[in-house]
Structure 1
Amino acid sequence: MKYHIISIGKIKEKYLTAGMDEFLKRLRPYGQVEITALPEEKMPDSPSDAQKRQVLDKEGEKMLGRVRDGSYLIALDVQGDLASSEKIAAAIADLALHGCREISFIIGGPFGLADCVRRRADWCISFGRITLTHQMIRLLLLEQLYRAIKINRHEPYHW
């Protein structure tokens, strides 16, 4: 299976990049993981609701443009379905069973996701109702992918 993470913004914190590197290393034997980080759109100071929507729409279209044909699209969104590790693992196993070769994940930038992304997504999931930075979500997504693979392989996560 191929996994494609499409996100907005760069990771600046070393502890997050170190964690991401660790999970990318752990995931390497189980599938290909590609990360596409796109630049943030400039948000004006004290933006109006219309300006916020315009920036989100630009970012959304940019991210959707990177989703390959045939890829199953999962958007990470605080408004999405609350997804347990087991539910994510089951969904990945079901997609693989039905011939899915690639899953794309979209993570919005600091201002969230555009409605066009939510509409296009095959599934919108949330890791909880708390607010986390978009950079942290990238790390958590990699960890959850690794955990899902271990669950599906009936292998221990901790050793």
Structure 2
Amino acid sequence: MKIKLIAVGKKMPDWIQTGINHYQKQLPTSLNFELITLEAQKRKGKNIEQIKALEGELLIKASQGSNLVIAFDEKGKQNNTKAIAKAMENWQQNGDNVVLLIGGADGLSDDCKQHAHQLWGLSNLTLPHSMARLLAVEQIYRAHSLLNNHPYHRE
């Protein structure tokens, strides 16, 4: 199994990057977790749809070779931690190569959403995409800890 989190935007606030690094270090190598960051498109001379389309092309290209693509979108299905843990358990059993996509500041293109097998939402709140990235990594760690009876997850 492999899990790739592919996100648009390379510049993260230090505290976000510190949090991401913390959870990444906690993940076992057996998850083969990889965080890939793509450059956000320059806004000059382009409208939002053009930017989303260009970033979507980059995300789709970066997700090639994976058999399960999940895009984070504000209208996606809201999962709780147990559901994410169950999904991760299935990925492990199936030997899936999973890609999780986080768009840039303007969101995902329609092509990118159509490319995804599933749309997941992280929150009903509007989040900066850097915060979404941190939450996604934390939830991967939390789901792993739940599956392995680690005391990190409490109910």
| Conserved 8 A contact 1:73-1:121 | yes
2:88 alignment partner AA: I
In structure 2, the partner of 1:83 is: 79
TM-score (norm 2): 0.91
Residue from 92, 97, 105 that aligns with 1:96: 92
Please tell me whether the aligned partners of residues 11 and 17 of structure 1 are also in contact (alpha carbons under 8 angstroms).
no
Q: TM-score, normalised by structure 1?
A: 0.89
1:40 to 2:40 alignment = yes
Which 5+ residue runs of structure 1 have no aligned equivalent? none
Q: Deviations over 1:70-121 (max 9, x none)?
A: 4311111111001111111111111222231x21110000001111111111
Which residue in the other structure is 1:112 paired with?
Answer: 107
Equivalenced residue count is 154
CA RMSD of aligned residues (A): 1.8
Could you tell me which residue of structure 2 aligns to residue 144 of structure 1?
139
Residue pair 1:30, 1:149 contacting (<8 A) in 2 also:
no
Which runs of 5 or more structure 2 residues have no equivalent in the other structure?
none
Q: Report whether the alignment pairs 1:25 with 2:25.
A: yes
Aligned-pair CA distance for 1:25: 0.5
Instruction: Answer yes or no: is the 8 Å Cα contact 1:81–1:125 preserved in 2.
Output: yes
Q: Which residue of 2 aligns with 1:156?
A: 151
The reply on whether 1:135 has 2:130 as its aligned counterpart is yes
Stretches of 4+ moved more than 3 A in 1?
none
Distance 1:67 1:26, change over 3 A: same
The alpha-carbon deviation at position 36 of structure 1 amounts to 1.3
